[in-house]
Amino acid sequence: MTTPEEIGILKNSIEVLEMGLLKLEHAQDVDPMLTENILLEVANKMTNNYPYHHPLYAGQMLKPPHPVARLAYTLAMQINPNNHALDGSRASSPMEKEAVQQLAHMFGYERYIGHLTGGGTMANLEALWIADQIHPGKVVVASEHSHYTHERISSVLKIPFRKVKADKWGRMDIADLKQQLERDTNIGTVVVTLGTTGTGSVDPLEDIIKLQQEFDFRIHVDAAYGGYFRLASNLQKKVSRRFAAISKVDSIVIDPHKHGLQPYGCGCILFKDPSVGQFYNHDSPYTYFTSDELHLGEISLECSRAGAAAVALWATLKHFPLVKNGGMAEGMNRCHAAAISLYQKIENDPGFITLFQPETDIVVWAATGTSLSEISRKNQQLFDYCARQDLHLALFNYPAYLLPDHWEEIAKDQDYVTCLRSCLMKWEHIDWVDRIWEIIRNSITTTTD
Ligand SMILES: Cc1ncc(COP(=O)(O)O)c(C=O)c1O
């Protein structure tokens, strides 16, 4: 939460902005009493939330923006630039271009075209739309563990879509992909997820690149969640190699509003071939006047976009440049270390059963039991117990047929099992693993069926 010190920083920086902007007289009337009353009402309403900002919120993918992002966003909001056209974002469009360049360089793209988007869904939509412009009517395939957005987007764009099986580690099953490519020469794009939403698994990108040499298709990487793990130095070697191969793919999505410490409303799409810009070609009779330089709206499907999002990202990257051994890299190492630490504690306790070792920072596990229905019931109870102790986890229905071999003895009396799931994506989580584990451990001894 914002500290008095941060409020002081914000006040000083707003003064600089105000003085720099032509010293126009104050033009907006505010009724302070009414505003305060409304704000207090808002604050009261907002208390009806889980404490998403705190490390004991370890459920879904939620992470507070870094203070520098929050402050820079608020500062930019004083004038609310729109990064559609340069006319509306003289300062913040160049900042977006610089920030996007850092993201592109992190992935090893030297030449590229890209921009920020409202989020991962919009960024993936642009990737699949461009793929369809390049080879109209060809099929998009993605793992059954890919984000549901790919199937939906394909349906919106009227692109044929098919699923590829997942393996027992939640990654794309390479044998099934190969079979599908052999059977169907009309597959145009393979969506590769580096960091799946459910388990944080990392699809075998290197093997998929090898298949690309045999069967001609585009590779689109959805790294909305996992992209920043490219900087981590403590992942399993084989997982690091998959992230390292990303510079070879045709397009990449990363969401700074997931791991990149940004407020919501900040995704990013990158294309390796800048000439795809031609497909965006359009004119705007209303906005593209004041400069011959590229207006970001010329290479984006969205029209208005928050300049404040670009300013916040730019400021965050000043603080945490995307370099090996930098603060962001260390933050990603901490997330992975937290997940491995919690995983090992759960793995070594006979009261629990895990799925597999986390490849990034999502842990999935369950209370032990004799059948999937019994385990699902228990997990719901543990989830409720933990929430009462202020530890917020997530539930995840995992398909029975994908369960790993060490679940063999458990009766498959239903076709899924409700597991517990935790995204340890806050840099502070590593310092809270013992406390989190204590609550989880107590949940099994305290909860009776
Ligand atoms: C891998 C992946 N892709 C895409 C998305 C969709 O992104 P957004 O929620 O920003 O639209 C998500 C969201 O969780 C995701 O995890």
Taken in order of first residue, the domains within the chain and their CATH numbers are 86-319 (3.40.640.10), 327-446 (3.90.1150.170)
Residues with C-beta less than 6 Å from any ligand 1 atom: 61, 119-121, 124, 147, 149, 193, 197, 222, 224-225, 255, 267
> Six-digit token pair at 134?
């390049």
- Of 63, 128, 197, which is best to mutate to test ligand 1, by the most ligand atoms within 8 angstroms of its C-beta? 197
Per-residue pLDDT at 289: 67
Q: Which residues contact 434 (CB under 8 A, 6 or more apart)?
A: none
Per-residue pLDDT at 367: 97
Per-residue pLDDT at 25: 73
d(CA 213, CA 236): 26
Per-residue pLDDT at 23: 67
Going by CA atoms, what residue is nearest to atom 14 of ligand 1?
A: 197
Question: 234-250: string of b/e by CB count within 10 Å (b at 16+)?
Answer: ebeeebbebbebbbebb
Residue 384: half-sphere exposure toward Cβ, Cα within 13 Å: 10
392 DSSP β-pair partners:
57
Q: Which atom of ligand 1 is nearest to the CA of 119?
A: 10
Place of tokens 């009779």: 285
- Of 122, 126, 144, 147, which is best to mutate to test ligand 1, by the most ligand atoms within 8 angstroms of its C-beta? 147
d(CA 144, CA 446): 36
Ligand 1 mean position, distance from CA 212 (Å): 25
> Six-digit token pair at 423?
């995204």
Computed on alpha carbons and rounded to an integer, the radius of gyration of the chain in Å comes to: 23
Digits of tens for pLDDT over the chain (449 positions)?
899 999 999 999 999 998 898 667 777 788 999 999 999 999 999 999 999 999 999 999 999 999 999 999 999 999 999 999 988 999 999 999 999 999 999 999 999 999 999 999 999 999 999 999 999 999 999 999 999 999 999 999 999 999 999 999 999 999 999 999 999 999 999 999 999 999 999 999 999 999 999 999 999 999 999 999 999 999 999 999 999 999 999 999 999 999 999 999 999 999 999 999 999 987 777 767 667 788 999 899 999 999 999 999 999 999 999 999 999 999 999 999 999 999 999 999 999 999 999 999 999 999 999 999 999 999 999 999 999 999 999 999 999 999 999 999 999 999 999 999 999 999 999 999 999 999 999 998 887 55
Q: Which residues contact 172 (CB under 8 A, 6 or more apart)?
A: 142, 143, 145, 146, 164, 165, 166, 192, 193, 203, 204, 208
Residue 136 CB neighbours (<10 A): 9
> Six-digit token pair at 302?
């969205």
Per-residue pLDDT at 21: 86
Pairing of strands 218-223, 251-254: parallel
Q: Which atom of ligand 1 is nearest to the CA of 264?
A: 10
Distance between alpha carbon 216 and the CA centroid of its chain, in Å?
A: 28
pTM of the predicted model, to two decimals? Answer: 0.96
d(CA 23, CA 258): 37
Ligand 1 mean position, distance from CA 324 (Å): 25
189 DSSP β-pair partners:
140, 218
Decide if 124 contacts 153 (C-beta within 8 A).
Answer: yes
In three-state secondary structure terms, 4 is helix
Per-residue pLDDT at 446: 81
> Six-digit token pair at 371?
């059948």
For 51: left if phi > 0, alpha if psi spans -120 to 50, otherwise beta; the answer is beta
- Of 63, 143, 149, which is best to mutate to test ligand 1, by the most ligand atoms within 8 angstroms of its C-beta? 149
For the chain, give the number of residues. Answer: 449
Ligand 1 mean position, distance from CA 121 (Å): 6
Residue 156: half-sphere exposure toward Cβ, Cα within 13 Å: 13
**Among residues 379, 321, 307, which one has the least CA distance to residue 346?**
379
Ligand 1 mean position, distance from CA 33 (Å): 40
> Six-digit token pair at 253?
């999505």
Per-residue pLDDT at 179: 98
